[in-house]
Amino acid sequence: MSDTPGIPDGQVADAVKGNWVDRLAPAPTRPYLRLSRADRPIGTWLLLLPCWWGLLLAMAMTGRATLYDLWIGVGCALGAFLMRGAGCTWNDITDRNIDGSVERTRSRPIPSGQVSVRAALIWLIAQSLIAFGILLTFNTAAILLGIGSLGLVAIYPFAKRFTWWPQVFLGLAFNWGALLAFTAHTGAVMFPALLLYLAGIAWTLFYDTIYAHQDKEDDALIGVKSTALLFGDRSHIWLRRFLVATVTLMALAIMAALINDRVSVLTLIVALGAPWAMGWHMVWQLGQLKTDDTTICLALFRSNRDAGLLAALFLAIAVVV
């Protein structure tokens, strides 16, 4: 049970209200599902969407779509859920002392005493092993990429202790799926996938800076770093830069992949709708943003699922036209 005032039955303060974990999951599983952020699905979406971008861009580039590609998309979804859960578990293990000092995070399972560190480690290993089993169904190059991402996942929770740019490390880890899914289709990492990966990193800098504004007062007091603290009142300026970088790099990735003899002009035009649609959503977010309003910051952060889905929609249409 959580001892945080106003948070009943072990629920986490920033969870989605009425989420399926709180309503439907068997009581013994709830602390572990909360540890994996299953009650806050936005992180799974933000990890999954670059995977789908990479797969769809590869399919549009090669003009080839098979049932195996359907499995890649499903496997990425399952893997994103599991690896996001494993990453959050690792994050909460490493941050257990910090989380207890922050209002928004003190109700999480480890600082609130719902899950021991030993049990959390066992849960981390279980999630990782299942995800590894899914990874083994992909080609060798994708498997090696998946294994290579573990270092980034391990480093990220410590980044806020030594750099003002921990969001860069999050971006490096969260967008790795763009490389992996592209490679799962093509068998090799190619230049368009690298550009798409960089676009995803810029997007992560955008949305996670917004997210970090929720904790900036607590972060300043306990001495951890973030881009929200670094940018301060200049956050809107930096966010516009990240927006432009996201749109530009995604557009370059699409052109690098689709300007060839195998791809029609119509496919290219439709695919280029992806960065522009996503960019307009990000412009709307900037218009709504008030960095001192934590409710707005959280809502806009979560809205990036829709921004990423807009890009995926245009890429999916480009595959079939």
Tell me the pLDDT of the chain (321 aa) as tens digits.
344 444 556 777 767 778 889 888 999 999 999 989 898 899 999 999 999 999 999 999 999 899 999 999 999 999 999 999 999 999 889 888 776 666 667 778 888 888 999 999 999 999 999 999 999 999 999 999 999 999 999 998 899 889 999 999 999 999 999 999 999 999 999 999 999 999 999 999 999 999 999 988 878 878 889 999 999 999 999 999 999 999 999 999 999 999 998 899 999 999 999 999 999 999 999 999 999 999 999 999 999 999 999 999 999 999 999
- Calpha distance 12→99 (Å, rounded): 12
**30-320 architecture in CATH?**
Orthogonal Bundle (1.10)
The pTM for the full model equals 0.91
Residue 239, sorted as left (phi over 0), alpha (psi -120 to 50) or beta, turns out to be alpha
Beta-carbon contacts of residue 33 (< 8 Å; ≥ 6 apart) = 21, 25, 39
Closest to 109 measured CA to CA, from 127, 132, 85, 134: 85
Domain ranges of the chain: 30-320
Q: Which long-range contacts (CB under 8 A, 24 or more apart) does 68-75 make?
A: 69/185, 71/137, 72/138, 72/181, 72/184, 72/185, 73/181, 75/134, 75/135, 75/137, 75/138
